[in-house]
Amino acid sequence: MSAAPFHCCCDHESPALNSYSCTKMDQPSGRSFMQVLCEKYSPENFPYRRGPGMGVHVPATPQGSPMKDRLNLPSVLVLNSCGITCAGDEREIAAFCAHVSELDLSDNKLEDWHEVSKIVSNVPQLEFLNLSSNPLNLSVLERTCAGSFSGVRKLVLNNSKASWETVHTILQELPDLEELFLCLNDYETVSCSSICCHSLKLLHITDNNLQDWTEIRKLGVMFPSLDTLVLANNHLNAIEEPDDSLARLFPNLRSISLHKSGLQSWEDIDKLNSFPKLEEVRLLGIPLLQPYTTEERRKLVIARLPSVSKLNGSVVTDGEREDSERFFIRYYVDVPKEEVPFRYHELITKYGRLEPLAEVDLRPQSSVKVEVHFNDQVEEMNIRLDQTVAELKKQLKTLVQLPTSNMLLYYFDQEAPFGPEEMKYSSRALHSFGIRDGDKIYVESKTK
């Protein structure tokens, strides 16, 4: 490095650690970003390069302090749950993190956006930043600070309780932001920004309390290029929007998750057809589908959404779609006219009127009628197939007037090419012979 040497001390007992304390280190539990970085990625704790990283050479100091001469820093830094409260020496951050592209600072104690800005402004290649579960709602994000985030493409603010004012400031200063995570932030409303963010493709806003469609529609106004919208675990109760307006609100939406929403009407499912590019839908755990069987849920939803190619994470094949659409016709065939959905008539045009499927009982037979031959006698009788050969002999004892110990049984399959089969194993179950109605059983005496 051409600049003056930067020192990174990894010895916990060295007074050099004081150089990584931040201006408000009167909190005894507080630690700086630079301090944690040196500790975690020292050669002792992180001896090899992992992934596409690089080693950073740090010249030894003339004082002969116990310095480590190299940090093996990967391009992806994970410093979550480390008690970080501040940045530390910005020159050190710039020297060590010039190549870092992803940074996870989740679940720390960062509460000042200025400290976050000091870190991020010295990581010029940064594209992914996770600030989840930091108490950043305790300070105001100024535009000058937000400007340091300008290269970030993926930003995670889950459980940060970030206000919509903070979100708007970020959106104004991040022209290339593509993915935004705003989960677990206790939002009950959405505050619409005066400026649209055309770069955003994916928005995760799960586990909030957005119940009213008037709030969700604001997301379409703010993010017109949205490709994926994840609304899981909100309590959205209905999609109240004219079809033509839905198409204008979300013209590029390809995937939507309404998992565990509060939707209760099939009309809400039909509304999804208004999104012109929608291909993937997640609808598990909604009240509307609770009364139906697993098969009915999937088939009825597939039949109503002709453009969707993936439902609840599973690909909808052409064969499954045809089966579902035929199932849909038969499901509504006996429903009163006024209750039949419009999709039924569309599918009748496609397939015509279908007869109900014949009910076929596939349960195995429990008994059969056979002919019992003994000497010159022939008797028809019903026998249970769940009994054994020994039990059948007891049943025949009265008919043929022979003790079971003196009885030989032969089974004759009327369609088999071979002769009779001796039923010589007393414990063998009758169903294992494949006996059918009309087959014959011959009884002979051993002392004949």
Domain assignment present for 385: yes
pLDDT at 56: 43
Which residues in the chain land under pLDDT 70? 1-29, 44-72, 356-362, 417, 448
Give 327-382 pLDDT, tens digit per residue. Answer: 999 999 888 988 899 999 999 999 988 776 656 566 777 889 999 999 989 999 99
Count the residues in the chain.
Answer: 448
Domain assignment present for 430: yes
Domain assignment present for 279: no
Give 132-153 pLDDT, tens digit per residue. Answer: 999 999 999 999 999 999 999 9
pLDDT at 195: 86
Range of the domain at 409: 367-445
pTM: 0.72
Domain assignment present for 384: yes
Domain assignment present for 184: no
Domain count within the chain? 1
pLDDT at 30: 82
Domain assignment present for 108: no
pLDDT at 361: 60
Domain assignment present for 394: yes
CATH assignment of the domain containing 436: 3.10.20.90
Domain assignment present for 429: yes
